[in-house]
Amino acid sequence: MRKPTIKELIFQHMKDHLSIYLFVSVLFLMGVIFGAVIVNSMTIGQKEDLFYYLNQFFGQLSEGKAASSKEMFLQSFLHNMKYLGLMWILGISIIGLPVIFIMVFLKGIVVGFTVGFLVNQMGINGFFLSFVSVLPQNILLIPAYLIMGTCAIAFSMRLIRQLFVKRSLAEAPVHWFGRYAFVLVLILAMSLISSFFEAYLSPVLMEKLTEYVLPKQH
């Protein structure tokens, strides 16, 4: 038998876990919608306070006083590594299955709230600002969270079947644990690139855009 190609393995993985991918994606989208709803439920005072701090950040960015790219890169990667690593560990723990659902939902809330608040306060300028500040890193980061969530759920469910159904497996547990560990390495690599975009690309785009956005806010 010939060894399957990477493309075939990915296709088979997607086919085997399609229902979980759909569930995780819907859960994430529900979080995005909920995050946007939270913005609309905020009081005027809360919005003004938050927008004040946002303007302070924009002011520092335009004056070159924001945190260094290296510092932002390390903070971003460490945060994502902890979050994704926790999801991976929860997949092994079995009892952490509901927490994985919550973490995917919370990630959606953060994205929905960020974009929703900027658009709510700044209109079309907020849309473009969210486009350059949120999109670059999330092109890879959102798929990374969805893949990690799906694999963690699938691994946890497989452990549950093994423990309670007690049926014999077609392959040794060490093999599918090895693949699960490989997924973490792949996801962390995606997170590393995402953090690079967030630290080195997004600030440049935001700085260019704030030159046009900020004067219109006064």
Confidence of residue 111 (pLDDT cuts 50, 70, 90): very high
* pLDDT, averaged across the chain: 84
CB 180 within 8 A of CB 91: yes
CB 130 within 8 A of CB 39: no
Residue 32, pLDDT > 70, answer yes
User: Looking at per-residue confidence, does 4 or 159 come out higher?
Assistant: 159
In this prediction, residues 40-45 reach a mean pLDDT of 85
Residues 6+ apart with CB under 8 A from 213: 58, 122, 125, 128, 129
Q: Which of 38-52, 73-87, 117-131, 149-163 has the highest mean pLDDT?
A: 73-87
Q: What is the dihedral of CA 89, 90, 92, 98, to 10 degrees?
A: -170
User: Looking at per-residue confidence, does 196 or 164 come out higher?
Assistant: 196
Report how far apart, in Å, the C-alpha atoms of 10 and of each of 17, 147, 149, 150, 208 are: 11, 12, 16, 14, 39
Residue 93, pLDDT > 90, answer no
Q: Say what angle helices 202-217 and 97-164 make with each other, to 10 degrees.
A: 150
Residues 6+ apart with CB under 8 A from 115: 32, 35, 36, 127, 130, 134
Residues 6+ apart with CB under 8 A from 180: 88, 91, 92, 151, 155
Global pTM value: 0.85
Residue 99, pLDDT > 90, answer yes
Mean pLDDT lowest for which of 51-60, 72-81, 168-177?
168-177
- Which residue, among 125, 115, 133, 134, has the nearest Cα to 40 in the 3D structure? 115
Q: Name the token pair of 152.
A: 């963690």
Confidence of residue 43 (pLDDT cuts 50, 70, 90): confident
Residue 2, pLDDT > 80, answer no
pLDDT at 67: 64
Confidence of residue 217 (pLDDT cuts 50, 70, 90): very low
pLDDT at 58: 64
CB 64 within 8 A of CB 142: no
pLDDT one-digit tens code per residue, 127-168 = 888 888 888 889 999 999 999 999 999 999 888 887 777 655
- Residue 99's Cβ-side half-sphere holds a number of Cα atoms within 13 Å equal to 14
In this prediction, residues 97-122 reach a mean pLDDT of 91
Q: Name the token pair of 208.
A: 């260019």
Q: Name the token pair of 51.
A: 């927008």
CB 87 within 8 A of CB 150: no
The percent of residues in the chain predicted with pLDDT above 70, rounded, is: 86
Confidence of residue 107 (pLDDT cuts 50, 70, 90): very high
